[in-house]
Structure 1
Amino acid sequence: MKTLIVCLLLLLPSAGCLFAQSSDFIPGGNVLFEDNFSQDPLGDFPAKWSTSSEGAVVELDGLPGKWLKVSGNVAVNPELKKKLPEDCTIEFDLVVKKESCRAVFGLTTISDVSAGNIYYKKTAVTLQNMTGYPDLVVTKDVQDLSSKSDFSLAGYIDRVLHVSISVNKTRLRVYLDDTKVVDMPKLVLPEYRNNFFIAGGESVPAPPDAIYISNIRIAAGEADARRLLIKQLFEQGSAVTSDISFNPQTNVMTQQSYPVLDTLGKAMQADPSLNIQINGQDQQPAGFVQSTGTTGTTGTTDVSNMATGTAADALVKQKVEQMKSYLVQKFQLNVDRIVTGVSNKIMAKANAMQTGQTGQKLKGFLTQFVKL
């Protein structure tokens, strides 16, 4: 029995990477390219892609859908109409076999891999299951910049690994499943956004098996909402967002709201002097009369005595209290660092700002963060 327990304990560290952790990845909303090879015949090279050599659409035992087989010393790229925007996300599923070649993916100055060698012009991540080598390496052109010794690819052999990449100007974030493994703020130069590529690592002779990819999604996003929110909060003292939403039937905060609050919570953890007020405003239907309440210099309705407010005020208060509870519980913050309120001035301020910037107005529930 003691021997069995020791063996199980020894296995735990390598198995740990198989479990999803909390992620701050936000997929872009404007899809630029999407492909799961469903329209491509088996054995053919997919119609929407280019290759430096070869490749074929295949099926994998025990896994649904179709997959593009990428062998060693081969690079492929999607055929994009134009270069990647400075704020974008890239996602795909990856399968690595026990004898697969290394998996290399990233950005390149080459728009079509059939016309050049990405080995010399790339910002890339390499995943490799090779004895004596780190399992993850970040590379710029031909130079290795960093590696991770706490990531083990062995736990993902013959499993579907979801890869997510977030590009925000010069910043590159990479997530394997829901675990962030790369976050380099000054890595991406504009010329490296000519295209995205995936390659089988170069070696002589080539390994006996390939890597396999599917469910590729490339999307443009707004400028990194998390980055702008915190920057605006620190520089201007307040920030407004409509990215925190609630289920219309239950009024419970949606999971899509968590990344914005996670960014704020991490900032409050890093800076113990950062205290905030969270104000909310629901955009009401026509004919609704907003309670005036007692308004202070910040334009926040005093809802400490809910008998003087409306039912709508009470609902808004309940929503902002959900945000406070989430931040306090997840990031172990003192409850005194966050106060909540209901405002009837957020909409006018936010819409004036948005109209001047984009010609569009914010919609839905509005949340204002104020630095105290």
Structure 2
Amino acid sequence: MKTKLLILCSIVFLTTTSTQAQFWKKIQQKVEDKAAEKVDKVLSGSEETSEQGAEASSKRETPYIEEVFTFEPGGTLIFEDQFIDAQKGLMPEYWKTSGNGSIVELDAYPGKWVMMGENSTFKLDTLIKVPENFTIEFDLITSSDKAEDIGSMNFGFAKDNSVRSTLLDAYNHGAVTSTKFHFHNQDITHSSKDMDAYHTLNFPFKSYSNTKIRVSIVVQGKEMRVYLDKSKVLDRTMFATGTSKFFYITAPFKYDKESRVFFGNFKMAAL
């Protein structure tokens, strides 16, 4: 009797063990199949890892791209400055500042650039008759470990050409408009004292460290459009009738971890 019981228990044990083994083998096979399928998708490019996906998403998310890029520079040149004859280490001849700036050369980008001292406002130090309708273009070069190491900076128009004070917004020291880049918050704010207007929109500045940014501005009477590379980030009324317009640009209010912003390739033309 004992012998029969032992044989029966052995049969049950072996049957159960075999069933469990087959079960876990099937599970393991499914896991391996899923893993293989995942690898195939990644290798074929049909699926990305989370890190690759985040990076690709960051590259794709630049917003406000126009189907047809509508910016057209003015046809009659008013003033252009590429700092060709400017002496390294000094401010360029036709500009003045509330703080400091100096001409430098960069290995990665040809030509000469103004290294903008933090919290310094720059304006043209020359008399220019600005027409009612005109365009302005310039380049910014960012240098930083991360974009958020660069403090916010702004540009726009003021009612006079004074640099006695740093212009940080559209509401003080004679400023009229302000377009501010918030590298840390990843947004752009536009404000107008004439129109009592304030507007914020998101922009992926996270991918804007160590790069060149092309800024294009169109002013047509009371209207103003701003393009960042080929993204249109402003298109609205920003001026009252007859408002004087003196261009200014203010460097970031601070630089962290030896970050820097450089300014150059300025061009103003009448429409």
Query: TM-score, normalised to structure 2's length?
Result: 0.71
Alpha-carbon distance change, 192 to 57 in structure 1, aligned in 2, over 3 angstroms = farther
Asked if the contact 2:120–2:166 (Cα under 8 Å) also holds between the matched residues in 1, the reply is no
The match for 1:56 among 82, 102, 105 is 102
Do structure 1's residue 139 and structure 2's residue 185 form an aligned pair? Answer: no
Please give the root-mean-square deviation of Cα atoms over the aligned residues, in Å: 2.6
What is the rounded CA distance, in whole Å, between the counterparts of 2:197 and 2:100 in structure 1? Answer: 27
1:103, distance to aligned residue in structure 2 (A):
2.5
Deviation digits for residues 231-250 of structure 1, max 9, x if unmatched?
xxxxxxxxxxxxxxxxxxxx
What is the rounded CA distance, in whole Å, between the counterparts of 1:71 and 1:29 in structure 2? Answer: 33
What is the rounded CA distance, in whole Å, between the counterparts of 1:107 and 1:163 in structure 2? Answer: 14
Do structure 1's residue 66 and structure 2's residue 112 form an aligned pair? Answer: yes
Aligned to 1:93: 139
The match for 2:207 among 155, 162, 178 is 155
Q: Which amino acid aligns with 1:13?
A: S
Larger Rg: 2
Q: Which amino acid aligns with 2:228?
A: L
Q: Which has the higher strand share?
A: 2
1:160, distance to aligned residue in structure 2 (A):
0.9
Do structure 1's residue 118 and structure 2's residue 167 form an aligned pair? Answer: yes
Aligned to 1:194: 245
Specify every segment of 5 or more residues in structure 1 that has no aligned partner in the other structure, as ranges.
222-372
Asked if the contact 2:65–2:232 (Cα under 8 Å) also holds between the matched residues in 1, the reply is no
Aligned to 1:104: 154
What is the rounded CA distance, in whole Å, between the counterparts of 1:15 and 1:32 in structure 2? Answer: 36
Aligned to 2:124: 78
What is the rounded CA distance, in whole Å, between the counterparts of 1:216 and 1:194 in structure 2? Answer: 16
Mapping for residues 150-189 of structure 1, pairs under 5 Å: 151-184=203-236, 186-189=237-240
Do structure 1's residue 38 and structure 2's residue 89 form an aligned pair? Answer: no
Q: Which amino acid aligns with 1:10?
A: A
Mapping for residues 12-23 of structure 1, pairs under 5 Å: 12-16=56-60, 17=62, 22-23=68-69
Asked if the contact 2:98–2:121 (Cα under 8 Å) also holds between the matched residues in 1, the reply is yes
Query: TM-score, normalised to structure 1's length?
Result: 0.53
What is the rounded CA distance, in whole Å, between the counterparts of 1:90 and 1:75 in structure 2? Answer: 17
Specify every segment of 5 or more residues in structure 2 that has no aligned partner in the other structure, as ranges.
1-38
Deviation digits for residues 224-277 of structure 1, max 9, x if unmatched?
xxxxxxxxxxxxxxxxxxxxxxxxxxxxxxxxxxxxxxxxxxxxxxxxxxxxxx
Alpha-carbon distance change, 171 to 153 in structure 1, aligned in 2, over 3 angstroms = same
What is the rounded CA distance, in whole Å, between the counterparts of 2:63 and 2:114 in structure 1? Answer: 23
Q: Which amino acid aligns with 1:106?
A: G
